[in-house]
Structure 1
C-alpha cells in the first residue's frame, strides 16, 4: 500500500459512504412507485438530469482504461470524449426533446410503441445482458482503481465494491442516484482540477508536458500507417454520436421535467464533455514522464498502465484529497452501474414481468420484483468483472470500444432510425440486429494484422494498436452500412401498413412538447428538489472546509478551501433558485 494514502484519506472515504446513505435517506419519501424508482417520476430539473446523463456516460474506466491510453499515446484519447460531447450536442438539437416526449417510464416501452410487442421482448433480452456486461466492465475498472489505492487483491476489491454499489443502487432509486450525481459532478471537476494543477506544478508546467511526453507524434506511438488513425478518429465520432442518440438511451431524458429541461440537460452534458477531458488526462500523460516504469511500482497488476492516474495522484495530491478522489470514482461507477442494475431491472419488470407474466400486478409487487432482479443482476455484474480481469491479452480501453462497436452498435442503429423513419415494418428492427451481429462475427474473425497487410499490399507490418483500431474502424462503417442497408431494404420490401394508428400516435407524441399541464409532466414541486440538493451541497461543502484542518502544506489547505467554497456558492445559488420557484408557485 502506498504511504501517500493516509489515515485521513480513509476517514474521507468512510465519510463519503455516510454521505451516500444520507442522500438516500433524504430522498426516500420521493419513491412511491416504479416511475419514481426508475426515472424520478419525470420530475427532474435540467441540472440534475444533465448531471446524471453525463455521469452515466462516464465512469472510473476513464481513470483506468482511458487513462492508460493517455499514458501510452497522449492526447489522442480526447477524441473519444469530445465525440461524446458531439453526441450530446446532437441530442440538444435533434433527439433530447423527442426522447422526453415519448412519455414512457422505460426506454423499451418506447420501443414497443414504435416497433411492436415482439421487438419489445427482443430488445428487453438484448439490453439486459448487454447492460450487465457494460456494468461489469465499469466495475472491473473500479476494482483496478481501488486495488491500486488500497493494495488489495483486484478480485477481492471487485467483490467488496460491487456489493456496496449493489446495496446503494438497490435502496437509493433514481432520485438518490441523480442527486448524488449532481454533487459528484461538482466534486469530481473540482478534484480533477486540483490533481491537474498539482501535477503541472510537479512537472514544471504545461510546456514541459508537451515537450517531454514520450510520443512519436500527436497520433501517439506505434503508428506505421497514419491513415488508420485518421479513420479511427472518424469512426469514434460517428460511433459515439450514434450511441448517444438511440431510443434505448432515451432513458437519460425520461427523468426530465419537460421538453425544455431535457434539451438543457443535453447541453449541460455536452459542455461537461468538452471541458472535463482536457483536465482529466493531464495527470496520466504526466505520469508517462514522472513515473515511466509503472510495472515496478505495481508489480501485481497485469496491465500497470491502467493505474497511471492513481500513481501520479498518490504522489502529488495532499493528504485527504486522495480519499475524496476515490470517493468520486466510486460515485461515477455507481451511476454508470445503474444502467446494469436499476435501469435493467426496470426493463425486466415493466417490459417482461408486467406485460407478460403479471399484467394485474400492483405497484408494490412491481417494486419488490424490481429489487429482487437488481440483486440478481448485481451478482452477475460482479462475476463478469472478475472474469474480465483474466483477459490479459486486451486492455480495458480496447475491450470497451470493441464491445461497443461489435455488440452494441448493431443493436442501436435501428433505434436511431426509429425516431426519424415513419414507414417501416416491425421486423426491420430485429432483422437489422441479426444482420449486424453477423457482420460483427465476420469482422472479428477476418480483420487481423496479417490479413490487412496482405489485402492492402502494405510494404510493412502494422502494429497491434493499429490492428485493434482497424477492428473498430471496419466494425463501425460495416455495421452502419449493413444495418442501415438492411433496415431500408426491409422498408422497400414490406410496405403494408401494420399498427399504423399506434405508430402515428408515437410520432404525434414525440413531436408534441411536454409542457405545463401535460399529463406526463412531473407533478412534484421543482423547488423541493432544489432546496434539498442545496442542503446536501452545504453539508458536503462544510465537510470539505473542515478538511482544511488536515496537516497539509499551504497549497493543500487552499485546495480544500477552494473546493468547499465552490460547493457552498453553488448551494447558495440553488437555495435562491428554490425560493424563487416556491414564491412563483404561491403567486400562481
Structure 2
C-alpha cells in the first residue's frame, strides 16, 4: 500500500472515534445508552441493522467460496435479504412493540425468569466468541494481504470498537454503522466496475469465467447443493427473525420506522449480492493461482477480493477498501458489544444483584461491562490467530449452524407457538446441542454415501461441506421443532401467573407503537439528521479530494463517485433537518 492508503486508513479510525465523541451528549440514562432511548429514525436503524449482519467475512471467507465455487455463496445473502423482508412484513414492528430495552427482557416476557438467565448466560459467551471470530478473520487477512501485523490489527481495531461503544453507547454505534454503510457500498461498487473492466467487460467476464461459477444447473447436478441452499435459507430466516435479534429494532422510533428500517436492510442485501462477489470471481480469471500471490495465507482464496483490488485500484483507493473491510467488522462488533453489555446490566446485574440500583449506577456498570467484554474479545481473537488450519468460511458457518441455530430456534418458535411451558425454551436449546453433536459425529458424509448409494470418491470438499452443514440444519429444525411442539401438552400444568404473562406478551406484541403516546421524551429527529449530515459532508469531501492524487482518469472518477455519494447523502440530511435544532 502507498502512503496515501495509510493516510486514508488513519483518517478513517480518527473519524470513527470522533463519532463516539460527538454522540456522547445523547447519553442521559440507561435507555439512551443501550437502545438510544427508542428514538432512532428508520434510515439510521436500517443501515445499522444491515451492518450488524455484515462482517469482513464477506470479503474473506465468503469471497473464498465465490472464487472457487461461484454463485452458491450468494444464497446466504439472498436469504439475509429475504429474512429482512420478513422483518418488514411481520417481525420488525412487533419486536419494537414489545417496548423493552434488551432482547432478553423480551425472552423473560415470553418464557419467564429462568429462561431469561439461561439465554443471558448463553448469549454473553456466544456473542463474545462470534466477535472474536470476526476480529480474528480481520487480523489474519490483514496480516497476509496488507502486510499488517496480526496482533496490532486485532488490538487497534478492538480498542477502537471498545471506545466507540464505551463513550457514545448505542447512539454512537448506530450512527457509525450508518456512515460505514455509506463508505462500504460505493467503494465495493467501484471495485466491481474496475474488476469487470480488468477482465474486458461484463460479456468477457461471463465468457471467460469457469463454466461452473455461473451454472445454475448445478443445483440438480452437484451433490447436496440444492439440499444446502434450502438449508441455508431456513437457517438465515431463523437467525434474522427471533427474539434474541429483536435488539436491532428496539431502538427505532415506532412501528412504522421499524418496518422501513427492515426494508432498507433488505434492499441493501439484495443490491449487494452481485457487487460483493463479482470481484472474487473476476480474481479467478486474473489470478488462477492465488497461492503464489498470498504464500502466507492459510487459505489463499480468502485473499481473492484484495487480489483483484491490487490489480485495478488507483493509489489511495486501497485505503478506502481496507476502511470498508474494517467497517464491516467493526459494525458487527460494536453492536454486539453494546447489546451484550446491556443484557448483562438489565438482565442479570439489576434484577439479580442490585434490584434497587440507581440509573447512574447501572450506566457506570454498563460501561465497566463494555470494557470487560471488549478486552475479552481482543484476547479471544488473539487465541484464534494461534490455531492452525482454520477456514474462515467453514468456521463461521459451522458456528452459526451447530451452536447459534439451537439457541435461536426456540426464540422464533415462541413468537408463534405461545402456549408452551416455561421450560420449553431452555430444554429445546439443550436438545438442539445434542442434535448438533450427533449430526456432526454420526450423520457424516460416509453415512450419507452409504445411505444414498453414492460414490464418496466423486464428492469434492465443497460438496462435503454442503452435506455437513445442510444435515445439521435440517436435523436441528426437525427435531427441535418437534420437541417444542411436544411441550405444549404440559402448558396446562403451568401456574396461572405464567399463563397470564403469555397473554400479556400476546397483547403487547400486537399493539402498534405511537411515539407521541408511548414515549415521554421529545423526539430529536432534526438533531439526528443534522449531526449525521454534518459528519458525512466533510468525510465525503475528503474522499473526493483524493481525486487530486496522480492517477488514471478511471481512478479519479472512482474517488469522486465514492466521496460524492457520502457527501450528497450528508447534505440531503442537513437540508432535511430544520434549523431550529443546530445540534448539541
TM-score (norm 1): 0.94
Q: 1:294 to 1:497 in 2, by over 3 A?
A: same
Q: Partner of 2:54: helix, strand, or coil?
A: coil
Partner of 1:578: 577
CA contact (8 A) 2:164 2:172 kept: no
Which of 272, 276, 279 does residue 283 from structure 1 map onto? 279
Partner of 1:424: 420
CA contact (8 A) 2:131 2:333 kept: yes
Q: Distance in 1 between matches of 2:376 and 2:192?
A: 36
CA contact (8 A) 1:83 1:237 kept: yes
Q: Distance in 1 between matches of 2:418 and 2:219?
A: 44
Partner of 1:586: none
Q: Give the RMSD, CA atoms, in angstroms.
A: 2.1
Matched ranges for 1:278-427 at <5 A: 278-427=274-423
- In the TM superposition, residue 107 of structure 1 has moved relative to its aligned partner by 0.1
- In the TM superposition, residue 479 of structure 1 has moved relative to its aligned partner by 0.6
- In the TM superposition, residue 221 of structure 1 has moved relative to its aligned partner by 13
Partner of 1:139: 135
- In the TM superposition, residue 390 of structure 1 has moved relative to its aligned partner by 4.6
> Is residue 2:154 matched to residue 1:158?
yes
Residue deviations 1:386-431 (CA, integer Å, cap 9, x gap): 3333554442111111111111111111111222122111111111
**Structure 1 stretches of 5 or more lacking a match?**
584-588
Residue deviations 1:469-527 (CA, integer Å, cap 9, x gap): 11211111111111111111011233234322222222111111011323347643211
CA contact (8 A) 1:72 1:221 kept: no
- In the TM superposition, residue 117 of structure 1 has moved relative to its aligned partner by 0.5
- In the TM superposition, residue 582 of structure 1 has moved relative to its aligned partner by 6.9
Q: Partner of 1:113: helix, strand, or coil?
A: helix
Q: 1:50 to 1:575 in 2, by over 3 A?
A: same
Q: Distance in 2 between matches of 1:351 and 1:552?
A: 54
CA contact (8 A) 1:60 1:329 kept: yes
Q: Distance in 2 between matches of 1:172 and 1:12?
A: 23
Partner of 2:97: 101
- Stretch deviating more after TM superposition (448-457 or 129-138): 448-457
Q: Distance in 1 between matches of 2:511 and 2:218?
A: 51
Q: Distance in 1 between matches of 2:24 and 2:210?
A: 51
Q: Distance in 2 between matches of 1:250 and 1:48?
A: 16
> Is residue 2:519 matched to residue 1:490?
no
> Is residue 2:468 matched to residue 1:466?
no
Matched ranges for 1:421-460 at <5 A: 421-460=417-456
- Stretch deviating more after TM superposition (103-112 or 476-485): 476-485
- In the TM superposition, residue 199 of structure 1 has moved relative to its aligned partner by 1.1
> Is residue 2:247 matched to residue 1:251?
yes
Partner of 1:72: 68
Partner of 2:34: 38
Partner of 1:554: 553
- In the TM superposition, residue 553 of structure 1 has moved relative to its aligned partner by 1.6
- In the TM superposition, residue 46 of structure 1 has moved relative to its aligned partner by 0.5
> Is residue 2:508 matched to residue 1:509?
yes
Q: Partner of 1:51: helix, strand, or coil?
A: helix
- In the TM superposition, residue 383 of structure 1 has moved relative to its aligned partner by 2.9
Q: Distance in 2 between matches of 1:50 and 1:225?
A: 38
Q: 1:219 to 1:450 in 2, by over 3 A?
A: farther
Q: 1:523 to 1:134 in 2, by over 3 A?
A: farther
Aligned length: 579
Q: Distance in 1 between matches of 2:143 and 2:390?
A: 19
Partner of 1:268: 264
CA contact (8 A) 1:91 1:245 kept: yes
Q: Distance in 2 between matches of 1:217 and 1:299?
A: 24
CA contact (8 A) 2:79 2:232 kept: yes
- Stretch deviating more after TM superposition (98-107 or 411-420): 411-420
- In the TM superposition, residue 566 of structure 1 has moved relative to its aligned partner by 2.2
TM-score (norm 2): 0.95
- Stretch deviating more after TM superposition (161-170 or 281-290): 161-170
- In the TM superposition, residue 216 of structure 1 has moved relative to its aligned partner by 3.5
> Is residue 2:49 matched to residue 1:50?
no
Partner of 2:477: 480
- In the TM superposition, residue 129 of structure 1 has moved relative to its aligned partner by 1.0
Q: Distance in 2 between matches of 1:44 and 1:340?
A: 18
Q: Distance in 1 between matches of 2:534 and 2:21?
A: 13
Q: Partner of 1:294: helix, strand, or coil?
A: coil
CA contact (8 A) 2:50 2:268 kept: yes
- Stretch deviating more after TM superposition (548-557 or 519-528): 519-528
Q: Distance in 2 between matches of 1:59 and 1:81?
A: 12
Q: 1:359 to 1:505 in 2, by over 3 A?
A: same
CA contact (8 A) 2:223 2:463 kept: no
Q: Distance in 1 between matches of 2:512 and 2:167?
A: 32
Q: Distance in 1 between matches of 2:305 and 2:66?
A: 10
Residue deviations 1:28-79 (CA, integer Å, cap 9, x gap): 1001122111111111010000000000000111101101111111121111
- Stretch deviating more after TM superposition (480-489 or 497-506): 497-506
Q: Distance in 1 between matches of 2:399 and 2:462?
A: 16
